[in-house]
Amino acid sequence: MAAGRYAPSPTSDLHIGNLRTAVLAWLFARSTGRAFLLRVEDLDTDRVRAADGTEARQLADLARLGLDFDGDPVRQSQRLDKYAAAVASLDDRVYECFCTRREIAEAASAPHETRDGFRPYPGTCRDLTEAERTERRRTRRGALRIRADEAWMTITDDIAGRISGPVDDFVLRRGDGVWAYNLAVVVDDLAMGVDQVVRGDDLLSSAPRQAWLAQQLGGTVPAYAHVPLVVNADGVRLAKRDGAISLTELAASGRDVAWVLRWIGESLGLSAGGEQVTPELLLERFDPAALPREPSVFRVGS
């Protein structure tokens, strides 16, 4: 069955911007007759451990908003063998890389950054000999990269339109042994039958790489909708440091779940004038073509 998904990282409580993106992912999925799945992106164990209990609070907050999911949450930390199998299937296109960030930044041959700050991996470790690799392994555990042969990929996004981007030899497994976000997302979306990816537009620049990897793994590229983020009064992407922005914090300042849903409805142009809304009401009115294309401003505490 076709499916959409919401895939939070359980590193801090969801804030009103995250919740708005979750509502949008739900609206896109349900308005197109898709299942709606939840995936917990908990691979970065240090960050997740530091945020103990966050996953349960995230799931509870999504339920409090009235979003329903199909099936049980999928946890990336329980799928490590799937990432290993996917990388094994890519076989000799995967190579070890011993570069530090700094070495990559300083590589004399590094091509200039593209407009959005994308800095392609300069290929330093691409053709090491076995002897060179053995030598480097003595001092450092290598990351794993995919040989992309300077591919170029175009995706179609429901909001951003056609987006083209270079695909460099990106990381599949980090030097600390953690499977990389770009790998896990693609492996999981394929395995879960996700054919519609709705998420914040901060991830738009990752989409060409991920779409390309989906093809390399024999899968189909999903439909994409990268939605504008919520920003603070300074126009900066909303973040934990902005203060009272999670459901619990907002409730403490008198802004209950009903208020949050009203704010989301109004920010999406689907309701007005303090009208009380439910996800179902927003669904009746949802029209992707009419969505605001600009970031929504959330004024904390005013």
Q: Which residues bind to ligand GLU, rule: CB under 6 A?
A: 7-9, 41, 185, 199, 203
74 forms beta bridges with: 39
94 forms beta bridges with: 146
Closest to ligand GLU by CB, 99 vs 207, is: 207
Q: Are 146 and 213 in contact (CB under 8 A)?
A: yes
Closest to ligand GLU by CB, 51 vs 128, is: 51
| Closest distance to ligand GLU from the beta carbon of 219 (Å) | 15
DSSP single-letter state for residue 80: H
| Closest distance to ligand GLU from the beta carbon of 207 (Å) | 9
Q: How far apart are CA 66 and CA 243, in angstroms?
A: 24
Closest to ligand GLU by CB, 8 vs 228, is: 8
Q: How far apart are CA 106 and CA 94, in angstroms?
A: 23
Q: Are 230 and 238 in contact (CB under 8 A)?
A: yes
Phi, psi of 52 (to 5 degrees): -55, 130
Closest to ligand GLU by CB, 12 vs 124, is: 12
Closest to ligand GLU by CB, 192 vs 257, is: 192
| Closest distance to ligand GLU from the beta carbon of 76 (Å) | 9
| Closest distance to ligand GLU from the beta carbon of 32 (Å) | 17
| Closest distance to ligand GLU from the beta carbon of 109 (Å) | 31
Q: How far apart are CA 222 and CA 211, in angstroms?
A: 8
Q: What H or E segment, with its residue span, contains residue 4?
A: strand 3-6
| Closest distance to ligand GLU from the beta carbon of 20 (Å) | 13
CA distances from 271 to 9, 28, 30, 72 (A): 29, 17, 18, 31
Amino acid at 259: W
Closest to ligand GLU by CB, 183 vs 250, is: 183
